[in-house]
């Protein structure tokens, strides 16, 4: 019964979006934000109903909580619907354009980058102090999100997802703070910005290499200290991890990949007071 209710929530928001809201969108970026909004609304509605009771949901033979079930249901139902919608509305762009895999046009990309490069309304987050603060907040979010996932099964399922949201908010603020330099192609940057971006990715690679190395060493230590069973010449290890703890490991790497390049660039700019 709970499964049907969650699916009903998903289908209701999809119906509102596809039949009433999405056709009114005039920009590719608007479609992207609307899709995110309706996904969040479906998850919020499910939270309002299931947060307190926290029932179990049957999901392909496994028991899942309401967060996982709602997200999986949304993806399953929306994937074909989204595909056919975009096929039926070519004037609104392609799937690649909607998800940022390809710009709607080179002219539009150039205009967007130029707008951010010459923007002044966000100068408050481009000061040396603000950039350092964003970097510190980014570092804290990279610690908080994995910790929230690691312990969420013992506290309250769903906290991990909430802890991930600051990562994307800080990522967006950092991109605006550094004027998209870390993400822009060569042709939209001057020579100084290209060198700055390239140095950023060199330092980011070193930091990410350190993160991955630390995780690999931790795995090795856990493996060595764990019990195992031998079958002939093969040793079998058993690890007991919850779904949240698996997500903690994933977000340790994924969160670092998302944030570190812009964090490094923002920190370097803060020391030079580059605006």
Backbone angles phi, psi at 239, to 5 degrees: -115, 130
- On whether residue 27 sits in a domain, the answer given is yes
The neighbour count for residue 120, using CB atoms within 10 Å, is 8
Average pLDDT over residues 54-76: 87
Q: In sequence order, what are the residues at sequence separation of 6 or more whose Cβ sits closer than 8 angstroms to the Cβ of residue 167?
A: 138, 141, 142, 145, 251, 255, 258, 259
Looking at the fold, whether 152 and 265 belong to one and the same domain comes out as yes
The neighbour count for residue 203, using CB atoms within 10 Å, is 16
Looking at the fold, whether 78 and 2 belong to one and the same domain comes out as yes
- On whether residue 111 sits in a domain, the answer given is no
From 43, 57, 53, 63, select the one nearest 4 (Cα to Cα). 57
The answer on pLDDT for 101 being more than 60 is no
Find the domain containing 48 and state its range. Answer: 1-104
pLDDT digits (tens, 9 = 90+) for 68-91: 889 999 989 988 888 887 777 766
pLDDT digits (tens, 9 = 90+) for 235-262: 777 777 787 888 888 889 989 999 999 9
- On whether residue 114 sits in a domain, the answer given is no
Token digits of residue 39: 């996904």
Looking at the fold, whether 215 and 142 belong to one and the same domain comes out as yes
| Sequential DSSP letters for 207-223 | HHHHHHHHHHHHHHHHH
Looking at the fold, whether 144 and 43 belong to one and the same domain comes out as no
From 215, 224, 204, 216, select the one nearest 265 (Cα to Cα). 204
pLDDT-wise least confident of 38-42, 116-120, 232-236: 232-236
- On whether residue 109 sits in a domain, the answer given is no
Cα separation values, 163 from 144, 223, 234, 260, 262, Å:
7, 28, 40, 17, 19
Q: Name the CA dihedral angle for 149, 151, 156, 162, rounded to a multiple of 10 degrees.
A: -30
pLDDT grade, residue 142 (50/70/90)? very high
Looking at the fold, whether 177 and 79 belong to one and the same domain comes out as no
User: What are 229's strand-pairing partners?
Assistant: 236
Interatomic CA distance for residues 187 and 191, integer angstroms: 10
The total domain count for the chain is 2
Looking at the fold, whether 149 and 64 belong to one and the same domain comes out as no
- On whether residue 48 sits in a domain, the answer given is yes
- On whether residue 201 sits in a domain, the answer given is yes
Looking at the fold, whether 89 and 161 belong to one and the same domain comes out as no
């Amino acid at each position: 019964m709970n499964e049907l209710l969650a699916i009903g929530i998903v289908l209701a928001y999809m119906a509102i979006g596809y039949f009433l809201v999405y056709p009114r969108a005039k920009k590719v970026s608007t479609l992207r934000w609307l899709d995110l909004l309706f996904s969040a609304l479906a998850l919020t509605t499910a939270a309002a109903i299931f947060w307190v009771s926290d029932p179990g949901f049957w999901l392909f033979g496994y028991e899942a909580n309401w967060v996982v079930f709602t997200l999986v249901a949304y993806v399953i139902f929306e994937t074909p619907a989204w595909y056919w919608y975009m096929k039926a509305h070519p004037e609104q762009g392609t799937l690649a354009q909607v998800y940022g895999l390809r710009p709607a046009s080179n002219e539009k990309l150039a205009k967007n980058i130029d707008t951010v490069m010459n923007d002044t309304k966000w100068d408050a987050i481009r000061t040396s102090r603000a950039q350092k603060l964003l970097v510190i907040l980014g570092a804290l979010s990279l610690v908080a999100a994995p910790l929230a996932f690691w312990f969420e099964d013992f506290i309250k399922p769903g906290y991990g997802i909430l802890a991930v949201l600051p990562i994307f908010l800080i990522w967006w603020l950092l991109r605006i703070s550094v004027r998209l330099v870390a993400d822009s192609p060569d042709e939209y940057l001057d020579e100084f910005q290209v060198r700055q971006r390239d140095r950023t990715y060199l330092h980011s690679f070193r930091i990410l290499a350190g993160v991955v190395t630390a995780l690999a060493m931790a795995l090795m230590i856990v493996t060595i200290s764990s019990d195992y069973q031998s079958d002939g010449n093969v040793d079998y290890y058993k690890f007991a991890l919850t779904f949240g703890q698996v997500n903690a490991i994933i977000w340790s790497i994924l969160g670092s990949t998302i944030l570190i390049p812009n964090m490094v660039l923002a920190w370097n700019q803060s020391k030079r007071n580059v605006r």
